[in-house]
Amino acid sequence: MSIMHKEFTSILKKIRMDKPLVHHITNYVTANDCANVVLSLGGAPVMADDPIEVEEMVSIASSLVLNIGTINHNKIEAFIKAGKKANQLGIPVILDPVGVGATSLRSEAIKEILAEVKISVLRGNMSEIKNIYGVKSLTRGVDSSDDTMAGGREIAESLAKTLKCIIAITGKIDIVSDGRKTYYINHGHERLTKITGTGCMTTSLIGLCCGAKESYLYGAILGVVIMAASGEKAYNQLEDIGTYRVKLMDYISRFSIEEIGGGEKIHEAN
Amino acid sequence: MSIMHKEFTSILKKIRMDKPLVHHITNYVTANDCANVVLSLGGAPVMADDPIEVEEMVSIASSLVLNIGTINHNKIEAFIKAGKKANQLGIPVILDPVGVGATSLRSEAIKEILAEVKISVLRGNMSEIKNIYGVKSLTRGVDSSDDTMAGGREIAESLAKTLKCIIAITGKIDIVSDGRKTYYINHGHERLTKITGTGCMTTSLIGLCCGAKESYLYGAILGVVIMAASGEKAYNQLEDIGTYRVKLMDYISRFSIEEIGGGEKIHEAN
Amino acid sequence: MSIMHKEFTSILKKIRMDKPLVHHITNYVTANDCANVVLSLGGAPVMADDPIEVEEMVSIASSLVLNIGTINHNKIEAFIKAGKKANQLGIPVILDPVGVGATSLRSEAIKEILAEVKISVLRGNMSEIKNIYGVKSLTRGVDSSDDTMAGGREIAESLAKTLKCIIAITGKIDIVSDGRKTYYINHGHERLTKITGTGCMTTSLIGLCCGAKESYLYGAILGVVIMAASGEKAYNQLEDIGTYRVKLMDYISRFSIEEIGGGEKIHEAN
């Protein structure tokens, strides 16, 4: 893990130095949490979603986070406009397909975004990623009950190649792949599933880490690792959800490379 | 209270087993808190309010929460569409008339919802419920300063009969009635009034409990009891509002039937 | 500081007695935090932004907070309608120009608001206030890197005279001026910059204090002081951001005149 440590350290240093502005077009349920994780680690979050201002806003940003929770028609226009502008300027775009598959509006939105915008990192849970995988590979059915790690690796690698982006699947074990290299992250705790927005926050953390403009692959891994390692450390079986949320934010804000020890819980698939 | 214990236990077990999806069309002020209470107790919250997707979303949900805070015209269309679809599918609809009476837009919205959608549970504070009661029973004036328990029971029972739904009035003493049976809940603490969203969260908890599809009356009572009993336990006179909010979430997330002891603080009106 | 103590005490007493309704037209990122600070100190927050209902809502309010975060076209219409109605009724209007200068939409919105609505208090950080100052005094360039205290005083006083309102510039040292008298507030802690929404919350606190209808100058100072003094007291170097947020809310909710001691950290510029 010595390489990972070097890359992670470099990204974290860059964040503290550059204070990357992370432009979010996101939902109103978890926007506050997303802003707080970005800010607590040294970044600068901004939320702006009127189609009229998103191109200007993303032009001064270091990365763009598109999150389709509480989606509506205005936001879809904003996603496309901001995404295209980010592409022109070489600003990384991180996509969170919240609830894709649940409604046609969300599925169509994702299809439109993927057709119009070059995505740097796509982060979702297994069900969301499988849904998109199914959409992109119509010749092959996707069994939504098949969420084994093995199936995850195959999907992550295949989708990464098709979409030419990093795929991050978060769950019991997180999987991050650029289509050639694939990593498993064994950090985390089940209690993270009892808090709303841990997925959205992870996407924002990836936005922050990619905003450091070092490596999108390592940026995606580090974003996932910060949430998973913090969620693991924050857990105390004597405490309940309210206190756990507070401690999760404590651990995220104090995250440093020391929190992952020798990196034993992060390994490359072979 | 042995009957109540049995009903409550059955609902709580069903929630843990079925993980009811609670579709919210709600305000952006308290959406995060509402999502967190539903999730912490074992349910699955989803917030979706574009009129284009609400019918599809509610179709996969176990219950529908309509909350008119931060209302606008698009949301009214969404309320009606989602509500009608829920009615077709036999999915319970829980209505929170936040601030009804303060503006014509809110009053008209409530009138339209009540005319177009069959509501399962209506939860509000005394002032909101009285406002609706006045609207529905124009022959009788409603004195907004009359918020005695006795007046509350009469209004709850009468409105429950008129609207053919459960009425939950939350306040110092909570009142829940289906028009025939009426219950008083003496749990709670005044400090709950110092936190925003405790009303909205109670409505979401009712949505969760009714999503168990056992009994809407007991579901409404249990939703009210979870908030009131947790707010009571969380209080510590040496602590202030920030800590109280955290502990409130702790107690909600760990709620079990043991928290209400022998049920001494819940009784049927006679 | 004996005068200040008397004024502050009078405002705090009035808040507890009158429970001022603070109507917010604000962003969805920090709305929950803003509602909670107002409520925890004894006020009543309401968020309503549909242009159709804002005039009615502000008519029953004690103050109006206009915050341009997550701005969109509907909100601009709401700002103007609500602001004009507040002016007619003598209700104080507090403006928070979040991110003005970042996009034309925000700059145009502020220009339109300032042209159409009489503002009582304008609160922003140095960069936002300088941007507005530049817009209003085109004959003079504004160096955005010049954020010394001295420059701040000049800008605050000049802008206060031009706009005929109170200017509150928050930062390491806060500056509040009505154009004739200028005050420095040395309370605060750098950690406040690591939490999202401390600016928005300060604006809401000013809204609450001005809603007491005692003095807008002292109301603005007190709003700034409550946040700064609470942020200072909440800091503990052994704790991290999650816990700090909770304690900040604890200190805000328990704020009393005793928290600022003899007022040594608040002084008038001479």
Asked if the model's pLDDT at residue B140 lies above 60, the reply is no
Asked if the model's pLDDT at residue A142 lies above 90, the reply is no
Categorize the per-residue pLDDT at A143 as very low, low, confident or very high, splitting at 50, 70 and 90. very low
Q: Looking at residue B27, what is its pLDDT?
A: 98
Q: Looking at residue C35, what is its pLDDT?
A: 98
Find all residues with CB under 8 Å of B148, minimum gap 6, and list them: none
State how far residue B57 is from chain A, nearest Cα, in angstroms.
Answer: 6
- Residues A54-62, mean pLDDT to the nearest whole number: 98
Q: Taking CA A213 as the corner, what is the angle to CA A209 and CA A218, rounded to the nearest 5 degrees? A: 50
- Residues C168-187, mean pLDDT to the nearest whole number: 97
- Residues A193-219, mean pLDDT to the nearest whole number: 97
* Cα–Cα dist B42/B99, whole Å: 29
Q: Which of B32, B72, B239 sits opposite C50 (nearest CB)?
A: B72
For residue B29, the domain's CATH number is 3.40.1190.20
Q: Which of C35, C53, C245 sits opposite B196 (nearest CB)?
A: C35
Q: Dihedral sign, CA of C90, C95, C101, C104? A: negative
Q: Scanning every residue of chain A, which has its alpha carbon at the shortest distance from the alpha carbon of C109?
A: A53
Length of chain B: 270
- Residues A5-14, mean pLDDT to the nearest whole number: 96
- Residues B84-95, mean pLDDT to the nearest whole number: 98
Residue B191 sits at the chain C interface (C-beta within 8 Å): no
Asked if the model's pLDDT at residue C148 lies above 60, the reply is no
Cβ–Cβ gap A194/B53 under 8 Å: no
Q: Chain B partners of C245 at a C-beta cutoff of 8 Å?
A: 242
Asked if the model's pLDDT at residue B141 lies above 60, the reply is no
Q: What order do you get walking across the sheet with C182-185 strand by strand?
A: C44-47, C21-25, C63-67, C93-96, C121-125, C166-170, C174-177, C182-185, C266-268
Which token pair is C179? 């154009």
* Cα–Cα dist C131/C140, whole Å: 12
- Residues A192-202, mean pLDDT to the nearest whole number: 98
The predicted-structure confidence for C207-245, as pLDDT tens digits, reads as follows: 999 999 999 999 999 999 999 999 999 999 999 999 999
Q: Decide if B198 contacts B230 (C-beta within 8 A).
A: no
Asked if the model's pLDDT at residue B217 lies above 50, the reply is yes
Determine the structural domain holding residue A86 and report its residue range.
2-268
Which token pair is A202? 């992870």
- Residues A154-175, mean pLDDT to the nearest whole number: 97
Task: Count how many domains chain C has.
Answer: 1
Q: Decide if A212 contacts A220 (C-beta within 8 A).
A: no
Q: Looking at residue A138, what is its pLDDT?
A: 38
Q: What is the pTM of this model?
A: 0.95
Q: Residues of A at the annotated binding site for substrate? A: 47, 197
Q: Looking at residue C149, what is its pLDDT?
A: 60
Q: Taking CA A226 as the corner, what is the angle to CA A222 and CA A228, rounded to the nearest 5 degrees? A: 110
Q: Looking at residue B150, what is its pLDDT?
A: 63
Categorize the per-residue pLDDT at B139 as very low, low, confident or very high, splitting at 50, 70 and 90. very low
- Counted across chains B and C, CB pairs separated by less than 8 A come out at 84
Residue C104 sits at the chain A interface (C-beta within 8 Å): yes
Asked if the model's pLDDT at residue A90 lies above 60, the reply is yes
Task: Using alpha carbons, select from C211, C210, C228 the residue that is nearest to residue C219.
Answer: C210
Q: Decide if A25 contacts A48 (C-beta within 8 A).
A: yes
* Cα–Cα dist B157/B180, whole Å: 7
The predicted-structure confidence for C43-97, as pLDDT tens digits, reads as follows: 999 999 999 999 999 999 999 999 999 999 999 999 999 999 999 999 999 999 9
SS3 letters for B214-260? CCHHHHHHHHHHHHHHHHHHHCCCCCCHHHHHHHHHHHHHCCCHHHH
The predicted-structure confidence for B150-170, as pLDDT tens digits, reads as follows: 689 999 999 999 999 999 999
Q: Please state, rounded to an integer, the average pLDDT across all residues of chain A.
A: 93
Asked if the model's pLDDT at residue A61 lies above 90, the reply is yes
Distances (CA, A) of C9 to A43, C13, C188, C250, C257: 38, 6, 20, 20, 7
Q: Looking at residue A194, what is its pLDDT?
A: 97
The predicted-structure confidence for C191-208, as pLDDT tens digits, reads as follows: 999 999 999 999 999 999
* Cα–Cα dist B156/B130, whole Å: 9
The predicted-structure confidence for B5-36, as pLDDT tens digits, reads as follows: 999 999 999 999 999 999 999 999 999 999 99
Residue C44 sits at the chain B interface (C-beta within 8 Å): no
Categorize the per-residue pLDDT at B144 as very low, low, confident or very high, splitting at 50, 70 and 90. very low
State how far residue C135 is from chain B, nearest Cα, in angstroms.
Answer: 32
Provide the pairing of β-strand C182-185 with C174-177: antiparallel
* Cα–Cα dist C153/C183, whole Å: 9
Q: Looking at residue A3, what is its pLDDT?
A: 64
- Residues B109-130, mean pLDDT to the nearest whole number: 97
Asked if the model's pLDDT at residue C150 lies above 90, the reply is no
The predicted-structure confidence for A255-269, as pLDDT tens digits, reads as follows: 999 999 889 999 999
Q: Decide if C185 contacts C266 (C-beta within 8 A).
A: yes
Categorize the per-residue pLDDT at C135 as very low, low, confident or very high, splitting at 50, 70 and 90. low
Q: Looking at residue B151, what is its pLDDT?
A: 87
Distances (CA, A) of C167 to A134, B104, C109, C124, C132: 56, 35, 18, 8, 11
